[in-house]
């Protein structure tokens, strides 16, 4: 439940999608980090190349007036702003060269995003290892071919198409004297030109297939990798030849390892490390690998990856495991048609749909996928054979002469008219499980995927044997040599921002955390009245008394006024549907006693109360417009450790009621707090329906600051067309945010010029292949919103930020590491070595990791009209990560993006719980495409906006 601080992530689409404020990263994605477009990456091992054309640190294609360096309080010099004094201790010359601020990029280079203006130098330089291995860029030409199968290969598994092309090359050795690297779908890359002409057709024999596959090979183009070499040297822009070269290298590096292992886009998996999660699923470890262009060279990013698989073996055993039944004894009691109820059968069919099983008939073994599960047993499932009705059990008795062992068990459908008994099917190994994991399975995935930094780096080093780079004929033919050791690079640890609480008290965080003992909130909210509703039937009087006492004492300690020492308590059973009425009844109890309506309702929930929680949030945030704070009953007593729980709860209450918990000290973020150029900070995200779900929309959220310190935010969310990453109503949503920003600055802060002059826009969820589209569409929508309001367009810095990548940093000698987790400290920043050769990006590890290996956030600057130097933008982003309202720890991504993600997750609260869409599921649905679109449209129309009273505050805390 959101109020309980669950965080974490979820398993969707065959990979882990995680996000955690403090957890440190979590598991790697099963199918890799880059969701489109070319990979991006770093810099040479010895620091940036010697500048050609000597561009100064301030240059974007041409010098900006030389290096800059001003006091930390930023003087208002000729250019209007200075730069904090860099913290650079005495270091060896080799390390000092690695923190040079200069960059050499040709004037003619025109990147998709903003061109890199230089490198940051602020902070303490340290050495870290990174899971990237240097690799040679091919020097010979690359020949690109298209493959076309005689049948629709889009429906075939990757392993099948890869096997067909492997056999095609084996069966024609005089043509394929050097094997081409095949991507599993359409593209074949070769280091030599084949004697095929423009188009050639092969017939490929495959075991257990009566007719050969017909494969046509069509010549596409010849690629000169020299363009890639010039790109990584910063001498030219990214072009189609560079993209094709990188794609060819990505395919070549995996060819050796995928021959005998299950694989997906960029990872392969082995059974060397397996964990059983129950319900027919097991977890495998594997290796992610991706080629990335970096400054002056190419590297391969290698990481540990985890994925969920169906358990191989007899299909009966898999079904029993999924149903939670014992595999011992007689399975008839669970899988017979008269024992398997309709709900269980439908669930089982969803679980099995698309799964490939082996069947043997007449000595021939075939591999076919499951479509459905029968209602009847094999002895009752009838079909017509030669004009006579016959049961499935009778058919197999006649064909094999052996009766079925379990004729009462249901069958699986393998084609339109083929129904096969469960006992005759075996599950092929290595099949990905792509449905949503259960909560316990998700917990298992987190534990299985979490490795301490030293363990992860060790496994990555050992993994090079499984990757077989040195033995790969594919790499040898392309003349790609891979360094066996991961890169050691220079990173920096940024200075920690000073935080400001009430009465001008300040705190200096350490290791990404701090204790606000003795401090009051920066701007405490006023509690105008409070009532309590208890839904836990086991809630004792001592817990109730402790709850009242704790809320009263903690709110007073934090500076919040108005919490009554003895608020009225309403006890209700945790059943029924009248939760909105319960809120109204509790509010009237307070009004009867005081004559005023309360602005806070505290709700005590039992365990496993997701439905009650959703109903309470719909009632409070959508229908009534009163702040609600849900608590766990088990946390309300006087037990040890609950004190901090109430502090965290009150941090959320203060934000929900319009207060501000903490701000960065203004001197730390002069750019944000300069009254002459007011700045608005905005975050945006889009959430999509789960895999196989065809009748759900996507949800977009935009969250923007309203105060001058970028610590108080409002949100707006809307449904939109499914799986469209570009925000379709962005202009309207930005208009709402800016109007509220201007209203707050005018009415609350008493500013005569409330319009923003500058805008920091952080966008989550956009893949590299979508950068150009995002820049074209969403930037235009932002400016359209300003035009609609009638204000001058603010200077915009548009940053895409994400954590869906596989770059990891490992502290080396001299780099401080967390004593418990072994991770690098909060504030670690890398803007060279593994960043883009020409574009403006950096990695920022802004949090202190608690579990596993910390995963930094990757910031890509698409537009920078504010002309940020790296030190400025990195320091602002790091400072913002310390003012996440509900925590006294720095978080892993800037708060407006974190909030936008939270708002998207709360989309289910926007539907009437008793309406047609009150219990939307994210599991796969089986409806036609047209019916799915129609239902998604209906769901979009049923979406209810936030109540105006709640919408002006941080209701999403």
Angstrom distances, CA of residue 748 to CA of 2, 658, 743: 29, 11, 8
As a three-state string, the secondary structure of 431-464 is CECCCCCCHHHHHHHHHHHCCCHHHHHHHHHHHH
**874: nearest Cα among 834, 835, 828:** 828
- Number of Cβ within 10 Å of residue 368's Cβ equals 17
| Mean pLDDT (whole number) for 423-433 | 95
Query: pLDDT tens digit string along 707-727?
Result: 999 999 999 999 999 999 999
Q: Do 765 and 905 touch, CB atoms closer than 8 A? A: no
668-802+861-944 and 524-656 share a CATH fold = no
Name 852's Cβ contacts closer than 8 Å, sequence gap at least 6: 23, 24, 25, 26, 27, 449, 450, 451, 452, 456, 821
Percent of the chain with pLDDT over 90: 74
Q: Residue 561: beta bridge partners?
A: 526
Q: pLDDT class for 34, splitting at 50, 70, 90?
A: very low
Query: At which residue do the structure tokens 């009534």 appear?
Result: 624
Does residue 536 have a pLDDT over 70? Answer: yes
Phi first, then psi: what are they for 352, rounded to 5°?
A: -90, -20
Cα 872 from Cα 882, distance rounded (Å) = 16
DSSP letters, 471-512, are T-HHHHHHT--B-SSPEEEEEEEPPPPPEE-GGG-EE--BTT
Residue range 906-911: mean pLDDT, rounded: 94
Query: How far is residue 710 CA from its own chain's centroid?
Result: 24
Q: Which of 535, 529, 612 is nearest to 571 (CA)?
A: 535
The model's pLDDT over 766-795, given as tens digits with 9 standing for 90+, comes to 999 999 999 999 999 999 999 999 999 999
The pLDDT assigned to 22 comes to 38
pLDDT band at 83 (very low <50, low <70, confident <90, very high): very low
**What is the homologous superfamily of the domain 524-656 according to CATH?**
Response regulator (3.40.50.2300)
Q: HSE of 615 in the Cβ direction (CA atoms, 13 Å)?
A: 20
Q: State the Cα–Cα distance between residues 161 and 179, nearest whole angstrom.
A: 15
The answer to whether 568 touches 601, Cβ cutoff 8 Å, is no
- Residue 487 in tokens: 């890169």
* 890 in Cβ contact with 509 (< 8 Å): yes
Give me the numbers of helices (H) and strands (E) for the chain, helices first please.
22, 38
> How far is 533 from 587, CA to CA, in rounded Å?
10
Ordered by start, the domain boundaries in the chain are 313-427, 524-656, 668-802+861-944
Q: How much is the pLDDT for 922?
A: 61
Look at residue 41 in the predicted model and tell me its pLDDT: 35
Q: If DSSP codes are grouped into helix, strand and coil, which group holds residue 52? A: coil
Predicted pLDDT at 226: 96
Helix (H) or strand (E) holding 918: none
Alpha carbon distance 441, 203 (integer Å): 44
Band the pLDDT of 920: cuts 50, 70, 90. confident
What is the pTM for the complete model shown? 0.87
**Count of other CB atoms within 10 angstroms of residue 948:** 8
- b/e for 618-632, b at 16 or more Cβ within 10 A? bbbbbbbbbbbbbbb
Asked if residues 329 and 446 have their Cβ atoms less than 8 Å apart, the reply is: no
Mean residue pLDDT of the chain comes to: 88
Instruction: For residue 550, give the nearest of 528, 532, 523, 537 by alpha carbon.
Output: 532
Parallel, antiparallel, or unpaired: how do β-strands 9-12 and 15-18 relate? antiparallel
- Residue 499 is predicted with a pLDDT of 98
Residue-wise pLDDT for 250-283, tens only, equals 999 999 999 889 999 899 999 999 999 999 999 9
Alpha helices, H only, 148-275: 158-170, 226-232, 240-255
Residue with tokens 């006492």: 549
pLDDT of residue 81: 38
Query: In this structure, which CATH number among 2.40.50.140, 3.40.190.10, 3.30.413.10, 2.170.260.10 belongs to the domain 313-427?
Result: 2.170.260.10
3-state secondary structure 783-830: HHHHHHHCCCCCEEEEEEEECCCCCCEEECCCCCCCCCCCCCCCCEEE
Please give the C-alpha separations between residue 486 and each of 375, 611, 769, in angstroms, as whole numbers: 56, 48, 27
How big, in percent rounded to 5, are the helix, strand and coil portions of the chain? 30, 25, 45
Q: How far apart are CA 236 and CA 499, in angstroms?
A: 43
Q: Which two tokens stand for residue 287?
A: 């290796």
What would you report as the CA-atom Rg of the chain, rounded to the nearest whole angstrom?
30
Three-class SS state of 285: strand
Which residues fall within 8 angstroms of residue 112, CB to CB, at 6 or more apart?
238, 771, 772, 775, 839, 862
C-alpha 293/C-alpha 307 separation (Å) is 27
Tens digit of pLDDT for each residue in 115-147?
Answer: 999 999 999 999 999 999 999 999 999 999 999
The backbone torsions φ and ψ at residue 339, rounded to the nearest 5 degrees and listed phi first, read: -110, -25
Return the residue matching tokens 């439940």.
1
The CATH number of 668-802+861-944 is which of 3.30.300.130, 3.40.1130.10, 3.30.420.10, 3.40.50.20?
A: 3.30.420.10
pLDDT reading at 287 higher than 80: yes
* Cα distances (angstroms) measured from residue 910 to each of 24, 398, 896, 955: 31, 58, 21, 13
- Dump pLDDT digits (tens) for 177-214: 999 999 998 999 999 999 988 889 999 998 878 889 99
Q: What is the pLDDT of residues 802-812, one digit of tens each?
A: 999 999 999 99
pLDDT confidence band for 153 (50 / 70 / 90): low
Q: Out of 1-5, 539-543, 865-869, 882-886, pick the least confident.
A: 1-5
Task: Say if CB 127 and CB 486 are below 8 A apart.
Answer: no
Quote the CA–CA distance of 507 and 101 in Å, as a whole number. Answer: 31
467 sits in which H/E element? helix 453-467
């Amino acid at each position: 439940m959101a109020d309980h601080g669950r965080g974490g992530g979820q398993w969707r689409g065959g990979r882990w999608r995680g996000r955690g404020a403090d957890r440190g990263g979590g598991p790697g994605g099963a199918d890799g980090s880059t969701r489109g477009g070319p990979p991006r990456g770093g810099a040479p091992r010895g620091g940036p190349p010697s500048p050609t054309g000597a561009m100064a640190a301030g240059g974007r294609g041409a010098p900006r007036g030389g290096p800059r360096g001003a006091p930390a309080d930023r003087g208002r010099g000729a250019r209007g702003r200075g730069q904090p004094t860099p913290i650079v201790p005495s270091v060896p010359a080799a390390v000092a060269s690695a923190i040079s601020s200069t960059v050499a990029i040709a004037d003619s280079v025109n990147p998709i995003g903003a061109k890199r203006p230089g490198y940051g130098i602020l902070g303490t330089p340290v050495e870290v290892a990174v899971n990237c291995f240097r690799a040679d860029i091919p020097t010979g030409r690359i020949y690109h071919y298209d493959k076309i199968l005689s049948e629709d290969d889009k429906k075939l598994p990757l392993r099948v198409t890869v096997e067909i092309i492997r056999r095609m090359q084996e069966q024609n050795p005089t043509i394929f004297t050097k094997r081409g690297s095949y991507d599993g779908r359409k593209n074949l890359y070769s280091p030599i030109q084949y004697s095929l002409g423009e188009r050639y057709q092969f017939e490929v024999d495959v075991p257990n297939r009566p007719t050969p596959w017909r494969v046509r090979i069509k010549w596409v183009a010849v690629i000169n990798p020299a363009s890639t070499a010039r790109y990584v040297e910063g001498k030219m822009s990214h072009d189609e030849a560079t993209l094709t070269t990188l794609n060819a290298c990505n395919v070549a590096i995996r060819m050796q390892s995928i021959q005998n292992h299950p694989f997906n886009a960029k990872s392969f998996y082995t059974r060397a490390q397996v964990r059983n999660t129950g319900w027919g699923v097991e977890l495998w470890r594997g290796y992610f690998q991706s080629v990335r262009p970096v400054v002056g060279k190419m590297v391969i990013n290698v990481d540990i990856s985890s994925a969920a698989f169906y358990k191989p073996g007899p299909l009966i055993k898999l079904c029993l495991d999924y149903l939670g039944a014992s595999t011992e004894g007689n399975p008839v009691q669970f899988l017979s048609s008269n024992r398997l109820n309709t709900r269980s059968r439908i669930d089982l069919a969803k679980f099995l749909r698309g799964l490939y099983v082996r069947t043997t008939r007449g000595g021939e073994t075939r591999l076919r996928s499951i479509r459905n599960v029968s209602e009847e047993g094999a002895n009752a499932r009838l079909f017509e054979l030669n004009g006579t009705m016959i049961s499935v059990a009778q058919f197999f008795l006649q064909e094999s002469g052996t009766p079925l062992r379990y004729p009462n068990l249901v069958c699986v459908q393998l084609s339109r008219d083929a129904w096969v008994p469960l006992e005759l099917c075996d599950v092929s190994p290595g099949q990905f499980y792509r449905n949503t994991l259960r909560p316990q399975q998700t917990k298992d995935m987190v534990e299985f995927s979490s490795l301490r930094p030293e363990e992860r780096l060790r496994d990555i080093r050992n993994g090079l044997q499984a990757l077989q780079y040195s033995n790969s004929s594919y790499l040898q033919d392309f003349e790609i040599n891979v360094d066996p050791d991961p890169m050691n690079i220079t990173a920096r640890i940024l200075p920690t921002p000073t935080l400001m609480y009430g009465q001008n008290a300040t705190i200096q965080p350490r290791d990404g955390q701090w204790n606000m003992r003795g401090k009051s909130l920066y701007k405490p909210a006023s509690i105008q009245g409070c009532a309590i509703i208890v839904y836990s039937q086991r809630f004792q009087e001592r817990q109730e008394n402790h709850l009242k006492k704790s809320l009263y004492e903690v709110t007073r300690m934090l500076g919040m006024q108005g919490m009554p020492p003895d608020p009225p308590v309403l006890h209700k059973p945790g059943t029924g549907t009248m939760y909105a009425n319960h809120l109204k009844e509790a509010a009237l109890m307070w009004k009867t006693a005081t004559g005023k309506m309360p602005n806070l309702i505290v709700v005590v929930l039992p365990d496993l109360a997701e439905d009650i929680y959703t109903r309470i949030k719909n009632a409070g945030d959508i229908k009534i417009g009163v702040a609600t704070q849900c608590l766990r009953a088990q946390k309300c007593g006087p037990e040890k450790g609950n004190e901090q729980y109430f502090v965290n709860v009150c941090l959320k209450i203060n934000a929900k009621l319009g207060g501000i918990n903490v701000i960065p000290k203004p001197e730390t973020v002069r750019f944000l707090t300069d009254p002459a150029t007011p700045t608005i900070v905005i975050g945006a995200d889009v959430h999509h329906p789960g895999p196989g779900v065809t009748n759900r929309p996507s949800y977009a959220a935009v969250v923007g600051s309203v105060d001058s310190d970028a610590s108080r935010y409002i949100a707006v969310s809307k449904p939109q067309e499914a799986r469209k990453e570009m925000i379709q109503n962005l202009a309207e949503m930005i208009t709402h945010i800016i109007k509220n920003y201007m209203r707050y600055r005018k009415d609350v802060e008493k500013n005569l010029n409330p319009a923003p002059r500058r805008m920091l826009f952080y966008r989550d969820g956009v893949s590299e292949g979508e950068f150009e589209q995002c820049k074209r569409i969403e930037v235009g929508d932002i400016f359209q919103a300003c035009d609609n309001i009638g204000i001058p367009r603010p200077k915009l810095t548009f940053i895409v930020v994400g954590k869906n990548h596989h770059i990891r940093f490992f502290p080396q000698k001299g780099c401080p590491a967390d004593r418990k987790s072994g991770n690098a400290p909060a504030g670690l920043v890398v803007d060279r070595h593994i960043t883009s050769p020409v574009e403006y990006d950096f990695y920022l590890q802004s949090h202190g990791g608690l579990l596993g290996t910390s995963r930094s956030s990757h910031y890509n600057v698409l537009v920078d009209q504010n002309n940020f130097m790296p030190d400025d933008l990195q320091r602002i982003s790091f400072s913002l990560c310390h003012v996440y309202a509900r925590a006294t720890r720095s978080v892993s991504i800037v708060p407006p993006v974190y909030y936008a993600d939270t708002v998207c997750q709360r989309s289910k609260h926007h539907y009437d719980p008793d309406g047609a869409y009150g219990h939307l599921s994210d599991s796969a649905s089986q409806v036609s495409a047209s019916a799915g679109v129609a239902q998604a449209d209906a769901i979009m129309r049923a979406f209810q906006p936030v109540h105006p009273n709640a919408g002006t505050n941080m209701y999403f805390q």
